[in-house]
Amino acid sequence: MEIKNVITVDNLTTESVSVKTQRVLIEDNGTETALGLPSRKAYTNSNDGRTELAVEVQEPYFSAIISVWGNEEKE
């Protein structure tokens, strides 16, 4: 058995994104069981939002979001 975090990038636009994290138990037969409730956080394409995103969201999710947002934050 293994416990891991499953990350889902949701509602990704050029202005914002929602990132959901869910802990799951993976049994030897491949069955996944959710552990507890998922956590969700929204980030905006701003200087502060990008800073939070960089600290809190791991690769490859961070790079995927930044590729949609581009090199400059929205005003």
d(CA 29, CA 50): 39
72: pLDDT confidence band, cut at 50, 70 and 90? Answer: confident
In the sheet where 16-26 sits, what is the strand order?
2-10, 16-26, 32-44
Structure tokens at 18: 């929602």
Specify whether the CB–CB gap between 68 and 61 falls below 8 A: no
Rounded to two decimals, the pTM is 0.85
Does residue 59 belong to any structural domain of this protein? Answer: yes
Q: Residues 2-17: pLDDT tens digits? A: 999 999 999 999 999 9
Q: Residues 29-71: pLDDT tens digits? A: 989 999 999 999 999 999 999 999 999 999 999 999 999 999 8
Considering its fold, how many domains does the chain have in total?
A: 1
Q: Domain range for residue 40?
A: 2-69
Does residue 52 belong to any structural domain of this protein? Answer: yes
Specify whether the CB–CB gap between 47 and 71 falls below 8 A: no
